[in-house]
């Protein structure tokens, strides 16, 4: 049975007011306040990343970040550098934490209907941050410890995830215990005005980005229907937002009668991929099979069943389904790359390379295809070609696709480029919330031949990781 705190965390809709209303910022200390927000954001993200709940599928993330960039451009000048992540979560939810970190649950993508609705949610989150709602909560947070705050925020985020298993949820609940109900209630007392402002600003951002405001109504309606069915289980002091029903009836009343949005095939394909890769296998199979009963030529549903089969290690079945989907959509680079990935799992690197090469010919040149082709070349004995592609993949991976950093680091380390290998592994461990391992590999990189090339970056990273470890220790979770 889901505990009260976990149920609350899973059902909070867009929790930035919990995240954006808990810190003391003295009057006249804006610059220092921004830095404090950034440090809290880093600490929260480190805890989230360390639990392996970040969804790092490169196909979905590439699509996702194009929308994020579009919203940020429309929003104008920002107080922070932004970081957007998709995390495993079985509730319809999104939230922002101090310092420009925004997270979206996989179930949200699986439940929305089009790109505009996703843009609406992201716009709402960005509006909370650009409005500096976090910095406004001065009086309510006089007694709040910044470090304990970061621990509590990480706990709420982790308790609501579905991909980390019971241990992750348990950690989340443990981190939340430090925040008492009375303190939270005091900190949230003035949240309604902020929600109204975020609704208004977010709507303006999405319109400026070229989206239809009706999609904000649609997104909130999905949230209302999905998340607040269990609202009776939420303690009053964790109800961080005004009721969605009243907001739908007032703020978004003019959009309720808008014409429905046309079918968004690109979004629906991404949604299918998220469902296939993250939902319970039984649910995903039921979803795709139902669609195929209505339309046997639904290539995306067939491909989705193939992804589910691959998850279940039924590789022969997955290959058959992928080929069937590809026959219906022969120029689909995503399908070709997934077939290449499957051939790698079946230990057929030459066949894998052929599929990845074909995917790139059709314009599918993201990190997914690049890294897959690098691995195929490596296993086929084409070390020079593999090195070039590993370099390209690691350069484009950043912390949104950390497995590319790990695989490239391993390759270079095993092929005599120790400094580069250790540095990439250090970057990988930083991205996955393991500061001690990140420091170790940075020091190893500097001690290796050619390590002087990484000294400045490693010195900066080591200082940052040491500060993070100290803050985690002070908060009682490091």
Query: DSSP characters for 234-255?
Result: S-GGG--S--HHHHHHTTTHHH
Question: Does residue 297 lie within any of the structural domains?
Answer: yes
Whether residue 325 sits in one domain with residue 432? no
DSSP string, 148-179: HHHHHHHHHHHHT-SSSHHHHHHHHHHHHTTS
Whether residue 290 sits in one domain with residue 435? no
How confident is the model at residue 178, as a pLDDT? 37
Question: Does residue 82 lie within any of the structural domains?
Answer: yes
Close Cβ partners of 389 (under 8 Å, ≥ 6 residues apart): 370, 371, 373, 374, 377
Whether residue 227 sits in one domain with residue 82? yes
How confident is the model at residue 149, as a pLDDT? 57
Residue-wise over 317-353: b if at least 16 C-beta within 10 A, else e? ebbebbeebbeebeebbbbbbbbbbbbbeeebbebbb
Phi, psi of 178 (to 5 degrees): -65, -20
- Rounded to the nearest angstrom, the gap between the alpha carbon of residue 234 and the centroid of all alpha carbons in its chain is 25
Question: Does residue 68 lie within any of the structural domains?
Answer: yes
How confident is the model at residue 159, as a pLDDT? 55
- Rounded to the nearest angstrom, the gap between the alpha carbon of residue 384 and the centroid of all alpha carbons in its chain is 33
Question: Does residue 439 lie within any of the structural domains?
Answer: yes
State which H helix or E strand residue 15 sits in.
Answer: none
State which H helix or E strand residue 352 sits in.
Answer: helix 349-361
Q: Give CA–CA dist 47/59, Å, rounded.
A: 25
Whether residue 326 sits in one domain with residue 232? no
Give the domain CATH number at 304.
1.25.40.10
Whether residue 144 sits in one domain with residue 288? no
State which H helix or E strand residue 93 sits in.
Answer: none
Whether residue 246 sits in one domain with residue 100? yes
Dihedral sign, Cα of residue 300, residue 302, residue 303, residue 305: positive
Answer whether 339's CB lies under 8 Å from 302's CB. no
Place of tokens 């699509």: 63
Whether residue 286 sits in one domain with residue 241? no
Taking residue 469's Cβ as centre, other Cβ atoms within 10 Å add up to 16
Residue 155, domain extent: 4-256
Whether residue 287 sits in one domain with residue 198? no
CA distance readout (Å), 439 to 82, 114, 446:
24, 42, 11
Whether residue 216 sits in one domain with residue 295? no
- Rounded to the nearest angstrom, the gap between the alpha carbon of residue 25 and the centroid of all alpha carbons in its chain is 28
Whether residue 298 sits in one domain with residue 151? no
How confident is the model at residue 77, as a pLDDT? 86
Which residues of the chain have a pLDDT value below 70? 1-32, 133-192, 227-257, 475-478
Q: Give CA–CA dist 331/327, Å, rounded.
A: 9
Give the three-class secondary structure for 132: coil
Q: Which of 330, 364, 390 is the last residue of a domain?
A: 330
Q: Is 22 exposed, middle or buried (0-12, 13-18, 19+ CB in 10 A)?
A: buried
Question: Does residue 397 lie within any of the structural domains?
Answer: no
**In 3D, which of 108, 57, 56, 114 has the Cα closest to residue 267?**
114
In this prediction the pTM is 0.83
How confident is the model at residue 474, as a pLDDT? 77
- Rounded to the nearest angstrom, the gap between the alpha carbon of residue 436 and the centroid of all alpha carbons in its chain is 23
Question: Does residue 49 lie within any of the structural domains?
Answer: yes
Whether residue 129 sits in one domain with residue 73? yes
How confident is the model at residue 158, as a pLDDT? 58
Question: Does residue 265 lie within any of the structural domains?
Answer: no
Give the three-class secondary structure for 86: strand
Whether residue 146 sits in one domain with residue 101? yes
Question: Does residue 28 lie within any of the structural domains?
Answer: yes
Answer whether 135's CB lies under 8 Å from 32's CB. no
3-state SS, 409-429, equals HHHHHHCCCHHHHHHHHHHHH
**In 3D, which of 88, 324, 363, 392 has the Cα closest to residue 372?**
392
Q: Domain count for the chain, please give it.
A: 3
How confident is the model at residue 41, as a pLDDT? 84
State which H helix or E strand residue 119 sits in.
Answer: helix 115-130
How confident is the model at residue 221, as a pLDDT? 84
Taking residue 269's Cβ as centre, other Cβ atoms within 10 Å add up to 18
State which H helix or E strand residue 304 sits in.
Answer: helix 299-311
How confident is the model at residue 154, as a pLDDT? 59
**In 3D, which of 324, 331, 322, 381 has the Cα closest to residue 353?**
381
């Amino acid at each position: 049975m889901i505990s009260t705190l976990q149920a609350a965390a899973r059902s909070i809709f867009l929790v930035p007011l919990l995240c954006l209303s808990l810190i003391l910022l003295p009057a006249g200390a804006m610059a220092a306040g921004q830095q404090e927000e950034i440090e809290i954001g880093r600490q929260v993200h480190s805890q989230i990343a360390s639990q392996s709940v970040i969804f790092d599928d490169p196909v979905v993330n590439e699509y996702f970040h194009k929308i994020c960039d579009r919203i940020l451009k429309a929003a104008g000048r920002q107080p922070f550098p932004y970081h957007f992540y998709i995390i495993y979560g079985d509730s319809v939810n999104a939230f922002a934490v101090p310092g420009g970190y925004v997270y979206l649950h996989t179930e949200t993508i699986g439940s929305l209907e089009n790109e505009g609705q996703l843009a609406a949610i992201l716009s709402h989150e960005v509006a909370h941050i650009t409005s500096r709602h976090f910095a406004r909560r001065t009086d309510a947070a006089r007694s709040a410890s910044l470090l304990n705050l970061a621990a509590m925020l990480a706990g709420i985020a982790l308790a609501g995830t579905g991909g980390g298993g019971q241990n992750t949820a348990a950690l989340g609940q443990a981190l939340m215990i430090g925040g008492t109900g009375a303190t939270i209630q005091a900190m949230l007392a003035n949240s309604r005005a902020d929600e109204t402002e975020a609704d208004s600003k977010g709507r303006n951002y999405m319109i400026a980005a070229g989206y239809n405001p009706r999609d904000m109504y649609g997104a909130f309606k999905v949230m209302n229907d999905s998340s607040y069915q269990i609202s009776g289980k939420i303690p009053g002091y964790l109800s961080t937002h005004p009721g969605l029903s009243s907001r739908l009836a007032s703020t978004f009343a003019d959009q309720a009668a808008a014409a429905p949005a046309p079918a968004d095939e690109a979004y629906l394909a991404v949604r299918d991929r998220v469902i296939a890769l993250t939902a319970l296998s039984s649910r995903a199979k039921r979803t795709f099979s139902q669609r195929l009963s209505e339309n046997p030529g639904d290539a995306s549903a067939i491909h989705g069943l193939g992804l589910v089969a691959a998850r279940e290690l039924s590789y022969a079945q997955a290959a058959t389904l992928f080929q069937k989907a590809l026959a219906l959509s022969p120029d689909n680079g995503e399908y070709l790359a997934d077939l290449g990935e499957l051939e790698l799992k079946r230990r057929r690197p030459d066949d894998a390379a052929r599929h990845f090469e074909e995917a790139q010919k059709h314009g599918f040149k993201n990190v997914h295809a690049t890294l897959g082709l690098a691995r195929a070349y490596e296993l086929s004995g084409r070390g020079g070609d593999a090195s070039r592609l590993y370099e390209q993949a690691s350069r484009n991976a950043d912390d949104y696709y950390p497995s590319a950093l790990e695989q490239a680091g391993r390759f270079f380390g095993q092929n005599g480029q120790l400094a580069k290998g250790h540095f990439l592994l250090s970057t990988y461990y930083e991205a996955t919330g393991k500061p001690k391992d990140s420091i170790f590999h940075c020091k190893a990189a500097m001690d290796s031949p050619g390590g002087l090339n990484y000294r400045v970056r490693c010195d900066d990273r080591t200082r940052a990781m040491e500060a993070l470890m100290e803050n985690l220790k002070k908060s009682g979770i490091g």
